[in-house]
Amino acid sequence: MKALVVGSGGREHALAWTLLQSDKIKQVFCSPGNGGTATMANCQNLPLAVDDFAGIANAVRELSLDLVVVGPEVPLSLGIVDYLRDQNIPVFGPTKKGAQIESSKSWAKEIMTLAKVPTAKSETFNDANSAKEYIQSEGAPIVIKADGLAAGKGVIVAMTLDEALDAVDELLGDDTDKLVIEEYLTGSEVSVLAVTDGKTIRPLSPAQDHKRIGEGDTGKNTGGMGAYSPVPLVTDELIARIQKEVLEPTLEAINIKKIDYRGVMYAG
């Protein structure tokens, strides 16, 4: 088989490298790829942007590719899977509706409520005054999140009321028309990515990442300042709980909404 990996980051480099470890894959193409993928044997970069759906589909046909694997959230949120499926091109990733679980925090909260998944108490706002009134009634610390994709940077953990009120003005603007304001929780974070065919779901090895930019877990949130796996704090018993209390109910809730979700699901 020959596969195409859509994306240009370290994640896509890892996907391409891993695909090439399979005896079923003889060649991988990356669109657009990066310097790392350019140096791998049996791997070739294609000068195609992640949102060039027509160009990607044409490349699949011209190169007789068997599978497309989509890495980044942006093309998924724009509907690349829907586009390729409509052209009978096998693709690994959720549809535009399914990708809302990553591209819309308020939609993800709706799914978690439907699934009865444990999650922080929250409210959603699309105007600053209502958001600030809620913050003042709840107090600090409190968490303010931009609703849409923000490359991991649209979250402000406000330890004071002033920080929280300023966060509303900072996040609510041209790029964000909706905020999710969430109760502050403290503890260890674990990231669990799981693979699903829409019917069953299986977790991969958990990881823990460092989100805040400063030493001692201080400063603003980032898209990630590094990660490690395995995570000593995560036991087999905890993974079993995550499977039963988070992953399976979430997939069931997505199915209730008649969304065919195939790909990777992220639980944090």
CATH classification at residue 40: 3.40.50.20
Tell me whether residue 145 is in a domain: yes
Question: Which pLDDT score is estimated for 174?
Answer: 61
Contact 155, 184 (CB under 8 A): no
Neighbours of 102 (CB within 10 A): 18
51, 49, 46, 43: which is closest to 21 by C-alpha?
A: 43
Q: What distance in Å separates the CA atoms of residue 205 and residue 231, rounded to the nearest whole number?
A: 9
Tell me whether residue 242 is in a domain: yes
Tell me whether residue 107 is in a domain: no
Tell me the backbone φ, ψ of residue 248, rounded to 5 degrees: -65, -45
Grouping H, G, I as helix, E, B as strand and the rest as coil, residue 106 is helix
- 8 and 86 in one domain? yes
Task: Give the CATH number of the domain where residue 137 resides.
Answer: 3.30.1490.20
Tell me whether residue 114 is in a domain: no
Question: Which pLDDT score is estimated for 150?
Answer: 65
Domain count, the chain: 3
Contact 179, 145 (CB under 8 A): yes
Tell me the backbone φ, ψ of residue 24, rounded to 5 degrees: -90, -15
Task: Give the CATH number of the domain where residue 198 resides.
Answer: 3.30.470.20
Tell me whether residue 106 is in a domain: no
Question: Which pLDDT score is estimated for 151?
Answer: 59
- 136 and 204 in one domain? no
Grouping H, G, I as helix, E, B as strand and the rest as coil, residue 13 is helix
- 87 and 10 in one domain? yes
Read off the tokens for 39: 């140096």
Q: State the pairing for strand pair 212-214/142-146.
A: unpaired
Mean pLDDT by 10 residues, the chain (268 residues): 97 97 97 97 98 98 98 95 97 97 94 95 95 97 88 81 95 83 92 96 93 79 80 94 97 96 94
Question: Which pLDDT score is estimated for 152?
Answer: 57
| Range of the structural domain that residue 85 is part of | 2-93
Question: Which pLDDT score is estimated for 153?
Answer: 63
Question: Which pLDDT score is estimated for 133?
Answer: 97
Question: Which pLDDT score is estimated for 224?
Answer: 72
| Assessment of whether the complete model's pTM goes beyond 0.85 | yes
Q: State the pairing for strand pair 208-209/91-92.
A: unpaired
- Using CB atoms within 10 A of its CB, is residue 66 exposed (0-12), middle (13-18) or buried (19+)? middle
